[in-house]
Each structure stands twice: as C-alpha cells, then as structure tokens.
Amino acid sequence: MSTTAATRPSRRRLLQGLGAGAVGLAVGLPLVGGVREVARADGTGDDLELSFLISNLDGGWVPAKSAISSYEANVWQQLTDKLVHTDPKGKVTPWIAESWEQSEDATEYVLHLKDGVTFSDGTPLDADAVIANLQAWAVGRPDEGLPRVGLFPGGTFEGAEALDPLTVRVAFTAPTLSFLPTLGYHGCQLMAPSSLAGSLEEQSDLSTQVGSGPFVLESWAAGDHVRLVRREDYDWAPPALGASGPATLAAITYTVLPDDTLRASAARAHQTDIAYNVNPQVLDSFTQAGFHIEVPRYLGFVHGYSLRTNVAPFDDVRVRQAFTRGIDRAEILRTVFTDAWEPATSWLQAGVPETTDLTELFEYDPELADRLLDEAGWTERNADGFRTKDGTELGFTLYPTPYLTGSVPEAELISQHLRRLGIRVHTQKLDIPTWTERVTNDLSQGVGEVTRSFVDVGTVAGVITDEGEDWFSVGSSDPELVRLRDAVAGAADREERAGLVDELSRHVLEQAYFIPLEQNVQRIYVQSPDLKGITFNAVAIPSYHAATKEPS
Amino acid sequence: MSTLSPTAPDGPTGALAPAAPSAAARTARRYAGFAARRTGQALIVILLAYVLVFLVLAAIPGDPISAQLDNPQAGYTEEEKAQIRAYHGLDQPVLVQLVVSLVHALQGDLGTSLATSQPVTAMLGAAIPSTLALASTALVLAVAIAAVLGLLSRVLPEGRANSLVRSVPTLFLSTPNFLIGLVLIQVLAVNLGLFSLVDSESPGSTLAAALTLAIPVSAQIAQVFITALDEAAGQDYAEVALARGLPPAQVVVRHLLRPSLLPTVTVIGLVLGEVLGGSLITETIFGRTGVGTVVQKAVAAQDVPVLLIAVVLSAAVFVVVNLVIDLLYPLLDPRLRTAKEAR
C-alpha cells in the first residue's frame, strides 16, 4: 500500500520530467505555456477544487508525533473529526460527542457519541474506537517508539470504559479541567483503530491513516504534496460550522513550497487559492491587489518577554515596571504590523475565556517609567546620556526570536523607546540553532521571548514557578505566586478557576514578570477573495468543510 | 598503479603464457583486470565513506526525537523518553550503532528517518526521479549551449561577433544561479504565466529550473571546449586543411572535433558534481522536491539516518561517475589503453 502511494506519482513525475526535457528541447519554450490551464486548481459547480501552498509537511504523519505541528494539522483537520469543537473564543461545542457530563470534582466525564458515524473504511466510530484513541493520546506505546500526545492530560488519566456502544466513561486521578477543551485541539483527532494499531513505520504512511472527516486521501508524495477528495457520505460536521452533509469542495491539493517569496509569487500570479505564511511586511501589497488576508489568533500567551528576576537589572521590580511602561505598543502596531494585529490586553490572548482586560497595568506611561527608574537609584547619566548607578550603565541585550517574522523590527523599535528613558538596549539577530543555544538554554539571559499557544489556561500554573518551567526564575520565593499556582492547578470548577486566573495575571503583570507586546499571530493565510465559508478553530487551523468559491 | 614495466608497454603480462594469445585478446584481458581493480577500489571508497560519514554525524549532538521529547510543552516523563530513545537505538554506544546500521545497510535496509518515521529508501526513492529529471535535462541543455558556443567560436570570422561569443561563458559563470532562477520565475512564471510555480514538477517548471542550472554549468564546458578547439586548430594538420581551402565548418567537423572531445568529456564528468550540487539550490528556488530538498530538510531537523544515506549516495555517484570516466578513457582513445596503464 505504501509503495503504490509513494512511487506511482514519482514514476509519473520522472516520465514527465524526462518528457519535459525532450519536448522543451525539441520545440522550444512557448509550447509549454499550456500548463497554465492545469496549474490553478479550478473548476465549476460540483468540481470546485482548492489549491493550498504550505511551507512544509516534514513532520511526518504518525498522528501522535505530528500532532503538535501546525503544518500537518491543516491536512489532519480535513481528514479527521474530533470529539468536540473548540472555537477561537475557547467555547467547547458538540461534534462526535453530542453531549457530555462532568463530575463535581472534574475527575470523571461521560461522553455520549453521535450514532451512525463511520470511518472512511466503513468501520464504525463507536465507544471502542474512542477508547482506542484515548489510550493512544494518554499513554501511547513508547516501547514501540509511539509517544503519547503531549498536550493530552496523560499524567492524571486513569482509564476509559464503554458503558454502551455509544457511551464512554473517562476517569482521572485528580481534577482535570483541561480534558474537554483539549479534545478540540489538533492532536486529539479520531483515527480508525486499525490505523492506531499500526507500527511506527506503518503509521508514517499517510495512506494507512483512516479518519472520519469530510475529505479522504487521494494521493500524497513525501514532502511534495497531499491531495484530498470529498467524502460523499459525510454527514456529521460540528453544528458550530453551520453546514451539514458532504463538503462543497470536490478536492483540496496541499503543495509544499518552502520558500516564502515563491508562495507569495504564486499567489500573485493567481496560481493558487491560498498561500500559508508570508512575510507580514508584504501583506499590504496583497490587500491592495484584492487578496483577502486571514490572521486568526490562537489561544495562548500573547507575544511578549518573560524576565528572569535573578538577572540584573531585572532583579529590581521598579526597573521591570519601567521597562513595561516605557514601550509604546501603539507605535509598534502601526509601524511593524498591519491593522490585522491586535493590542495585548493581558499576558494571555484575548480569546482565552479566562482573560480579563488588564491593560492599565502595563500601558505606555513614560513619566511613570522615568520616576520608577529615579526611585530605583538610576539617577546619574553618563556621557552617552544613559542612566547609571554606582558607575554601572543601565542596559541589556534583546535577541529577537527567529521564529516570528516582525520580531526584529519590533525589538529595534523597543530599543528606541527605552533609549528615551535612558536605558541602553542592544539588539542582536541570531539564527535558530544559535538562538536556542544562546538564549533559550542560557539561564543567565535576562529576557526570554514568548510565543506559545496552549490547550487550556491551566498551563499557566506549569510555567511560573520551579514546579514547572520557572519562566521568571523566581523559584518558589514569591508566596503569592505559589498560592495562585496551586489554586489554579487544583481547581475543579471553571468559573472559580477564572477568578483565580485573573488574580494570577494581575500579580504577574504588577510584578512585571512578563512584558506583553501584542496578541500573537503566527499563522497568516493569504486567500483569493472568492473563497467563502472558512472557519477557524481555537488554534487557528481552518476547516474547509463548508468552504466554497464564489466570485465576489 | 600498474605492474607493467614502462619499458615494455606492449609486452605480455604473463610472460609464462603457454601459447601467445592474439593481441586483441591480451588487451581485452588486461582491460578486464584494470576494470575489476578500479571497481573494487570504488566499492571500498563507498564503504569508507559510509563509516566516515556515520562517525562524523555521530559527533553532532542532537536529533529530532530528543528535540521532540525534550520540548517542555510535551511534558513526557523520563521513563517515556528512555523507552522511545531505546526503540530508536539511540541509547546504544556509537560503535554498536555503526555496526548495526552497516549490517542492515548491507542487507538492503537503509534505515528509518527519525523525523518522519518513513523508510529512508522511500524518502530518497521519491526524491531521486525529480533530481534526475532536473540534472539530466540541465546537463543536456548545458552541453547543447556549450556546443553551440564552441562551434560558433570557430565558425564565426574574427571580429566583434566572435569575441562576443567567446565572452559569453565568463558572463554565465559570473551570474549566480539563484539570480537566474529569480529572474526566470518573475518573468516567465509571474509575468508571462509560461509555467506553474505550484506544480513544480510540470514540464515547463522542470525546463525553467534546468535552464537555471545549465547556464553556469555550460560556461565551464564551453570554456574547455573552445580552448581545446583553438589548440587543435593550431596543429599542423588543421592549418594544412585550412590552407587547402576547406570551409571552416568542415575543418571543425573533420579535423578539430575528435581531438577536442577528450578534454570536453573530462570536464563534463567534473561538472557533474556541480550539476548535483547546484540542483540543491535550484530545487530550493523552484520549490521542487528532490534529493537536495530532502538533504536540506534533514540538515535542519538533524535527521541523521537520512543525511547518512544521502551523503553516501552522493559520494557513490561521484565514485561511479569517475569510475565510468576512467573506464571510458581507454575506449575513447586507443593510445591510452597502453599509455595510461603503463604510467
């Protein structure tokens, strides 16, 4: 099975390639202009096709391993279904699970499944299939190289049993509020039990991966393309998408084009319907040319800096506060990004249901910042005009993250803002390996840059102290932080936890442990204006079940 | 290299041969021995390359499995990490890993990618046709361009047109590959829509990519070809032919071409490495999925098993090409059958 899927297209390609050489040499260039017609996936009425350009599909197709990558997630989203749908506001609504009950202490859940759902190989998506999936997400088969899904709360997972063919009971050893929202994230896609039973190498072959989604695989070639076609008997889309029955589009082709400029050029030449991730700096030219730009935001932390409080000068809360008060975020949004970017309102993205607007704790106030630095004793000025204390100059270095386009001009702008306060900020751009080594893994580095999505707000408890990733290098020295961490982690009720998250966010921002910049956008979709009916989930992955192409 | 004495280039190898075989049979036998020896050497070089590359790659820290497991977001336990590393054999000493890998390779199992979990043979197998199509089209184009330039340089009378032709190779050489590619993409694909950027394996795209690759390569072949033609033209027999009033085109075909072919074939063999190396860049520019792209991604992901086979494969291609050229020489030029052996 694997060989046919992998080799057939390549043999065709070989012939095509050799043919190209022969034809081209014999008759010259103009004749090959004929490819233009087939280049753009197009059609009318029932034959509408979508062409999607993506930077890479290199993570492989083993569901548990590729689950974290946003690239493969684009394809999985069309091939598979999930138990619940989580929308960009974090709202959990039914999908394959029509309804559910949760115990008082959030340690036990009962899921009621929709009747009549089948995988594309005809096997039923019933309680047994769901249990096989839960087992794969929570435990995996590490001795066979198959990890569990890292985002799934496997640590507290006790087990799952079928109460009847359409009812599953899931038990946890401790309150696990993240269970339901996690079911809506990529990674927790439902696969046929036969697919999950395969070995690591078998699972790496996309053609052995059977889902129950609105599209099925037609062909794929590693690192090159994936082509999906509509499943005609599909009838269990999540009600949240607002469409039922089979998909409108007949086929979707994902083509890998690693180069940014090439994807942009192909879009500009109208050779594709969607180009995924282009440089934000060129977005305006696309808007002017009539393209539609989608910049969905995921749930998670905003883009910002986490400060290590054991590194000077961030060991002084007043310096940290001056840092956050000295940044003119409105100017950053105006000059570095486009109108599609939104200001930060907390250290959490605004879509996170527990987020409260705490802008007043970090908004631009250069006078306050000046005062704070004076109070902290940075009163002298040196020949260059920078503040000093006991002969030491006030300053630090920013290493912009190589993962986020725009972070370099942003850091340069921030360095100008802080210069006005008398803080000398160097900026240095590094490539990914060097950045990992010099910044991420170097704990003597005062500023860490954060761009991260999360499945559930409970994640915050895992990053703030030495019980987890200890972003601020405070260890357990801040009793208020420790109290709030334990309260958020152990909460059994979402409303009660929301209040605790607000308290925690307030504390983090008041202490200026975290410097919010703007709401994070890491996925940019440049779309033809003809495309309609596209919806995004909580982690900014599109669903094309209800999508259609209509000239606007 | 050879056991033959230079003073007796035509003498029989085995002086004790009972009945002197015919000269042709003797030459054939000597050639077979030479071919077998060269082939054996080539195989040893490939084997050594495997071991060397394996050891070098083993010295590089990090791999995609550990990168995934150590990600703090994933939250794996130490036991889970250890089990998964053990499954991939990453907990074994390097020498054990080398022996295991070598034994598997000799049995035809070239391993599994750590990044995609796919068999390395499947990944490279899917990429090779694309690279082969690109490289072969590019080589044919390059030879064609060089041939045209070379012949023009002899046929055109001395003057502005001729010196223009002769300066083309320098111009081609000094234009970077990626610049040619970007111009072709902008003009032919974006402005004129002559080929598809999305379907990067379509005939038009392949031709454009091959042209990008062929232009700098053709320059090197053309330079050698032109020099060789000039040299041949300086020989007495060519001057005599010209003096007898033969048209330049006929002189080229009858008298200059054959002696110029040997250095030209040699340089074509040498630029093959350039073609393969250049295809990496060209594949990237045009978004093709070939061996170059696979290697590039394997480097970025520290996917050692894929890198190992890819590097050994390119070493093997080099060795085989050189072997073929070595074996071809005596057939191209009968004088070399003995002279080269004797040297």
Question: What is the nearest CA distance from B302 to chain A, expressed in angstroms?
Answer: 11
Q: Compare CB distances from B190 to A21, A155, A265 and report the shortest one's residue.
A: A265
Q: CB of B85 within 8 Å of any CB in chain A?
A: no
Q: Does the pLDDT at position A12 exceed 50?
A: no
pLDDT at A393: 95
Band of the pLDDT at A438, cuts 50, 70, 90?
Answer: confident
Higher pLDDT, B145 or B199: B145
Cβ under 8 Å to A: B residues 239-278? none
- Which pLDDT belongs to residue A534? 92
Contacts B186 to A, Cβ<8 Å: 265
Residue type, B67: A
Percent of chain B with pLDDT over 90: 23
Residues of chain A with Cβ-Cβ distance to B86 below 8 Å are 143
- Residues of chain A contacting B286 with CB distance shorter than 8 Å: 262
pLDDT band at A18 (very low <50, low <70, confident <90, very high): very low
B 217-236: CB under 8 A from A: none
As a whole number of angstroms, the distance between CA B82 and CA A334 comes to 48
| From A247-261, A513-527, B116-130, B321-335, the region with the lowest mean pLDDT | B321-335
Asked if pLDDT for residue B10 goes beyond 50, the answer is no
Per-chain mean pLDDT for chain B: 82
- From the CA of A213, how many Å to the nearest CA of chain B? 23
| Set of chain B residues whose Cβ sits within 8 Å of the Cβ of A265 | 185-186, 189-190, 197
Q: Does B125 touch chain A (CB under 8 A)?
A: yes
Considering only CB atoms, which chain A residues are within 8 Å of B292? Answer: none
Q: Which fold has domain A49-295+524-549?
A: D-Maltodextrin-Binding Protein; domain 2 (3.40.190)
Taking the CA of residue B25 and the nearest CA in chain A, the distance in Å comes to 40
Rg (CA), chain A: 26
Q: How many CB pairs under 8 A join A and B?
A: 226
Residue A85 has what pLDDT?
A: 94
Chain B residues within an 8 Å CB radius of A30: 194
pLDDT value, residue B12: 44
Between CA B239 and CA B248 the distance in angstroms is 11
| Adjacent-strand bridge partners of A426 | A397
Contacts with B197 from chain A: Cβ below 8 Å: 39, 257, 262, 265-266, 269, 271
Looking up tokens 């091959």, which residue turns up?
Answer: B210
- Pick from A14, A209, A251: nearest CA to A121: A209
Res. A10: pLDDT tops 60: no
Give CA A396 to chain center in angstroms: 30
For the ranges A22-36, B102-116, B124-138, the lowest mean pLDDT is seen at A22-36
Q: What is the pLDDT of residue A113?
A: 97
User: Does the pLDDT of residue B16 top 70, yes or no?
Assistant: no
Domain A49-295+524-549 shares a fold with domain A300-519: no
Out of B68, B86, B200, whose CB is closest to A65? B68
Contact of B306 with B113, CB cutoff 8 Å: yes
Tokens representing A285 are 């030219």
Residue B15 pLDDT greater than 50, yes or no: no
Taking CA–CA distances from A32, the nearest residue in chain B reads B204
| Whether B119 contacts chain A with CB within 8 A | yes
Q: Which comes out higher in pLDDT, residue A311 or B338?
A: A311
Q: Is A188 helix (H, G, I), strand (E, B) or coil?
A: coil
Any idea where the domains of chain A sit in the sequence?
Answer: 49-295+524-549, 300-519
Residue A203: closest C-alpha in chain B:
B117
pLDDT digits (tens, 9 = 90+) for A59-106: 789 887 765 677 889 999 999 999 999 988 888 999 999 999 999 999
CATH of A300-519, one of 3.40.190.10, 3.40.50.720, 1.10.490.20, 3.10.105.10: 3.10.105.10
Q: pLDDT confidence of A42, banded at 50, 70, 90?
A: very low
* Chain A residues within an 8 Å CB radius of B133: 13-14, 16-18, 20-21
Task: Give the pLDDT confidence score for residue B247 in this predicted structure.
Answer: 79
pLDDT digits (tens, 9 = 90+) for B83-125: 888 888 888 888 999 999 999 998 989 999 988 888 999 889 8
**What distances in angstroms separate CA A471 from CA A461, A464, A486, A521, one per listed residue?**
11, 6, 16, 21
- Find chain B residues with C-beta within 8 A of A17's C-beta: 129-130, 132-134, 137, 201, 203, 206
Residue B339, pLDDT > 80, answer no
Residue type at B262 in one-letter notation = L
Helices (H), A255-365: 260-268, 283-288, 317-325, 329-335
Chain B residue closest to A140 (CA)?
B80
Sheet-wide strand order for A525-527? A215-221, A225-230, A251-256, A49-54, A274-276, A525-527, A292-294
pLDDT of residue B297: 84
β pairing state of A395-398 and A392-393: unpaired
Q: Which amino acid is at B87?
A: Y
Distance CA B53, CA B155 (A): 49
pLDDT digits (tens, 9 = 90+) for A440-478: 777 788 998 888 888 789 888 888 888 777 899 998 999
A60 vs B116, B126, B190: nearest CB: B116
How far is the C-alpha of A189 from the C-alpha of A209, rounded, in Å?
Answer: 11
Find tokens 């993250």 and name the residue. A401
pLDDT higher than threshold 50 for residue B17? no
Report d(CA A535, CA A533) in Å as an integer: 6
Residue A50: predicted pLDDT: 95
Q: Which residue of chain A comes nearest to B181, CA vs CA?
A: A262
CB of A253 closer than 8 Å to CB of A51: yes
Supply the mean pLDDT for chain A. 87
Least confident stretch, A39-53, A152-166, B139-153: A39-53
